[in-house]
Amino acid sequence: MQFCPKCGGIMVPVKKDGETVLRCTKCGYEMKAKKKESYVIKEKVKEKDKPKTTSLVSEPSKFGVSDEEQQQRVEDYYEIALELMQEESEGSDEGEQ
């Protein structure tokens, strides 16, 4: 790890015009990297901080919702969406007259 000679900030590797340079995270000072192979950026993410995927939500049986109830919810959702679209369409027709 290297530190900026101007402000003491951390220098991180970035690609610029096909070359690896070190850039200060605070002031933006750049210097050519001596050995580009030796610079690797890694980040460890704790299991609890990882984003949850939608696969958990897409399985209603895990959350106590039956298939019939899930189907009814989907139908209700589309029915409401269609009603709103129809109201919007009628409202825009009245505005044109």
Task: Quote the domain boundaries for residue 70.
Answer: 64-96
Q: What is the DSSP string of 25-47?
A: TTT--EEE-S-GGG--------G
Q: Is residue 45 part of a domain?
A: no
pTM above 0.75, yes or no: no
Domain total in the chain: 2
Task: Give residue for tokens 């139908």.
Answer: 75
Q: Is residue 46 part of a domain?
A: no
Give residue-wise pLDDT tens across range 45-97: 788 877 766 555 555 555 667 788 888 888 999 999 999 988 888 876 655 55
Q: Is residue 53 part of a domain?
A: no
Output the pLDDT for position 68.
85
DSSP state of 50: S
Distance CA 68, CA 13 (A): 54
Average pLDDT over residues 17-28: 88
Output the pLDDT for position 29.
94
Q: Is residue 55 part of a domain?
A: no
Give residue-wise pLDDT tens across range 25-56: 999 999 988 775 666 666 777 888 777 665 55
Q: Is residue 88 part of a domain?
A: yes
